[in-house]
Amino acid sequence: MKKCVISIMALMLVVTSFAQEKKMFTPEDASYNNYAVYARGKSFKWLGDTDKYVFAEENELRYQTPGEKSSHTLLSLDQLNIIAKEIGFDEFKRLPNITWLDENSGYFYKRNDDGNTTLNLLNIKDKSIKKLTAFPSDAENTTLNVKTMRVAYTIGNDLYIADGGRQLRLTENPDHVIAGQSVHRNEFAINGGIFWSPDGSKLAYYLMDESMVTDYPIVDITTRIAEAKPIKYPMAGMTSHIVKLHVYDIAAGTDVVMQTGEPEEHYLTAITWNNDNEKIYIGILNRGQDTLNFNEYNALNGEFNKTIFHDEDEQFVEPQGPAYFLPGSTTEFVWLAQRDGYYHIWLHNTKTLKARQIEKGNYVVTSFDGFDGNGNAYYTSTEVSPLQRHFYMVSLKSGKKVRITQKHGTHSVSPSKSGRFFIDNYTSTDVPRAADIMDAKGRFFAPLYQAENPIKDYNIGVTELDTIKSEDGQDLYTRIIKPYNFDENEKYPVIVYVYGGPHAQLITDTWLAGAGIYLNYLAQEGFIVFTVDNRGSADRGEAFEQVIHRQCGQMEMHDQMTGIEYLKTKPYVDPERIGSDGWSYGGFMSTSLKINYPETFKVSVAGGPVINWKYYEIMYGERYMDTPQENPEGYELTALDNKTDKLEGKLLMIHCTTDPVVMWQNSLSFVENAIHNGKLMDYFVYPGHDHNVYGMDRAHLIKKITEYFKENL
């Protein structure tokens, strides 16, 4: 075992005679009902294309140039209201969120009493506000093209454009046909349904036909006679939605469909416009999700031009974003691909069809962050550590790179237009929230802000991070949170908090090491709280993440049990009092651990659990499990509603009655099987909540879980 313990400095609080003066967390604190206990940051933006940065201070926007000793007033609330009064605007109670276009002008949205929202241009030099366009305040999926200041939006199933004083309605759809919204499950670089051309003259949009998809009943109990409100939910192996990509030409008033071919049950991902505004690119991912063709189409007539590249993988291909064309180029773009086992930046050419890898190594590029004007690209990666995120600048020509961020932690960086300076927003295990100015050589230039420790007045235990080895020798990161009044001579019960699924990482070099207030609240109540990020979790590379393919939960459980063996080496752990807790994939994992290792887990809590992958939707379910027809052995192996004969000890299962993600049927099928097998369990529902419990009711959920562990563990 490789020892790599990180003590969280801000949490290393010695219990002294003054401990009784410190506060205790409440369930309300842990449920986001008290934002005072969460680290809040201060916002800094670049002032348009300048090297000046803007920030709010009381009722003023102030600006400063790196190196200056003091800041200057850019705009005050009083000044804004003087301008607003002259054009008949209602008085502003606070400064709006302004996006700066240049040193003097920026745009903002304002919701008005007439039921409309206006897009407005502020010019502080001219002391003017101009209403650019308006749209209904109930509009959704609003997407702005900055060059034309046109706003595309949806109302219901239809798509509209606000263009100056006119409103264009692009679609009049029947039921179950939806325009301009995300399709499928917001993955594979599908994070919206509206795509402006660079010059704003054309609008690409998804049109999804759900009419052939099975209705799934969601029951609304708020009416005297409960009502069924069905949603379209295609389960693994069943008929999927049909999605098309349309392009609307505003000047011509024409709408064309891209000819993406057969079979129609495929995924249209990574929508990208060419800088020439005439060609558009679609990543055609087959339903089996193991083959991707990145195709070029003529946006004027919808015709297929050519395939730019073809990627395939024995397990699955997961595009992580659109292509990014180099500024001013119509032939070169960068793409994130996992072709050597890790996501890296590749430079592609649409004419030669050649590709070149820009940087490489045993780390993951987690995001592509843009270009500068000098032939460099920006990206964020795990190169320093899988627990950290650092920002880099790399030459697209030579591959030479500069690490901009230096302090340990997780960074989010914004470069100035010139590329001379960078605003580095970051958090770490010992910094709640902070911002610095860095220069282009990665040198610290000036501090901007550091938040105070928001929980300095609370009883907090020590958090320790460590590294253990999986069965195949890979590093697994662990986190232990101890009670604030920890006594090394005592034996403590343990709650294993688990998620374990793809696209999630629970342990990070962030404030509280990613644990948040809830897990610290559980520790405060007298438990050791333990987490291990098993194989299958995010940002560790292809081999680490794809090991779960066709057998979800199996390798993950092995790694969780490796964590249990590690726990048992701790003299303060009571091996007879170990429980598990998790939600969604974590609920699936918590139940799986309870069923397969009843001798280890005395008590388990499972919220919103996937119980049988045949009840889960197509996009996610088939990626990791294939279809039930293709992988019957895997579905049988991972199903939990046929294994309740193994249930022992205490299990609390929780589900929200209107969950549209993990259908209520999952946990109900488990309960039914437990009844048939004569097994007792505890079950609780939250009426009217979706995939988790939020708002004021979340405190109730936390009380419910905590009391269950206190009573039984």
SS3 per-residue string spanning 212-223: CCCEECCEECCC
How far is the C-alpha of 376 from the C-alpha of 401, rounded, in Å?
Answer: 9
Closest by CA position to 600, among listed 628, 577, 623, 624:
577
Q: Dihedral of CA 101/103/105/106: which sign?
A: positive
CA distances from 693 to 385, 580, 658 (A): 33, 19, 11
Catalytic: which of 436, 592, 659, 669?
659
Establish whether 584 is a catalytic residue: yes
Q: Are 328 and 321 in contact (CB under 8 A)?
A: no
Output the CA angle 291-355-537, nearest 5 degrees.
Answer: 50
Query: Whose structure tokens read 């990543």?
Result: 283
Q: Rg of the chain over CA atoms, in angstroms? A: 27
Burial 312-348 (b: 16+ CB within 10 A, else e): ebebbbbbbbbbbbbeeeeebbbbbbbeeebbbbbbb
How far is the C-alpha of 138 from the C-alpha of 117, rounded, in Å?
Answer: 9
How far is the C-alpha of 296 from the C-alpha of 679, rounded, in Å?
Answer: 57
Q: Are 515 and 531 in contact (CB under 8 A)?
A: yes
Query: Whose structure tokens read 């939990």?
Result: 640
Host H or E run for residue 286? strand 279-286
DSSP β-bridge partners for residue 196: 203
Establish whether 691 is a catalytic residue: yes
Q: Are 630 and 677 in contact (CB under 8 A)?
A: no
How far is the C-alpha of 363 from the C-alpha of 344, rounded, in Å?
Answer: 8
How far is the C-alpha of 178 from the C-alpha of 156, rounded, in Å?
Answer: 8
CA distances from 266 to 305, 389, 510, 618 (A): 19, 33, 38, 11
Q: On the CB side of 176, how many CA atoms lie within 13 Å of its CA?
A: 14
Pairing of strands 492-497, 528-532: parallel
Pairing of strands 573-583, 492-497: parallel
Q: Dihedral of CA 692/695/699/700: which sign?
A: negative
Q: Are 255 and 248 in contact (CB under 8 A)?
A: yes
**Residue 151, token pair as written in the block:** 């706003």
Instruction: Give the DSSP letter of residue 491.
Output: -
Q: Are 567 and 573 in contact (CB under 8 A)?
A: yes
Strands (E), 351-462: 355-357, 365-371, 376-381, 390-395, 401-403, 410-415, 421-428, 431-439, 444-450
Output the CA angle 374-442-340, nearest 5 degrees.
Answer: 70
Catalytic: which of 176, 558, 691, 700?
691
Establish whether 424 is a catalytic residue: no
**Residue 56, token pair as written in the block:** 């709010």
| 36: amino acid identity, one letter | A
Catalytic: which of 580, 584, 590, 669?
584
Q: Are 429 and 511 in contact (CB under 8 A)?
A: yes
How far is the C-alpha of 516 from the C-alpha of 530, rounded, in Å?
Answer: 13
| 254: amino acid identity, one letter | T
**Residue 657, token pair as written in the block:** 């009655």
The order of strands in the sheet holding 603-607 is 6-7, 463-469, 475-481, 528-532, 492-497, 573-583, 603-607, 650-656, 682-686
Q: Is 205 helix (H, G, I), strand (E, B) or coil?
A: strand
Q: How many residues does the chain have?
A: 713
DSSP β-bridge partners for residue 215: 232
Residues known to be catalytic: 584, 659, 691
